[in-house]
Amino acid sequence: MEESILKKLVVEKLSTVYDPEIPVNIWDLGLVYEVDFPKRDTIVVIMTLTAPGCPVAGDIIQEVHDALASIEGINSVSVDLVFDPAWDPSKMTEEAKLELGFDLTL
């Protein structure tokens, strides 16, 4: 599969995974820092959480893994959780900020 098509599919799949405490998907929240394709059938995701003590961290990681593993032709998915750099609201898309009521005129 062409890498640009795969990247689009990855974003679509990641956009279906939601932070359980915030009604916005992890892609728009800016929780995904990096997506790599070291091999044609492999996806490596480096991501964070909104808070290091998130009680459902394992659930989110499993959801990300399962969503990406469902892409045809993918045989290996690795989800690496990092907390450096720390997440902050500036990493969110404008759509996420609007959805959460942030004032974008500042």
pLDDT score recorded for residue 31 = 97
92: nearest Cα among 24, 8, 41: 24
pLDDT score recorded for residue 103 = 76
Element containing residue 58 per DSSP (H, E)? helix 57-69
pLDDT score recorded for residue 2 = 84
pLDDT score recorded for residue 54 = 83
CATH topology for the 3-99 domain: GMP Synthetase; Chain A, domain 3 (3.30.300)
**Angle, nearest 10°, between helix axes 57-69 and 3-14?**
140
Residue in the block written with tokens 């942030």? 102
Angle at 50 between CA 49 and CA 53, to 5 degrees: 75
Give domain limits for the chain. 3-99
pLDDT in tens, the chain (106 residues): 788 899 999 999 999 999 888 889 999 999 999 999 999 999 999 999 998 888 888 899 999 999 999 999 999 999 999 999 999 999 999 999 988 888 776 5
The contacts of residue 53 (CB under 8 Å, 6+ apart) are: none
25: nearest Cα among 4, 10, 43: 10
Specify whether the CB–CB gap between 43 and 79 falls below 8 A: no
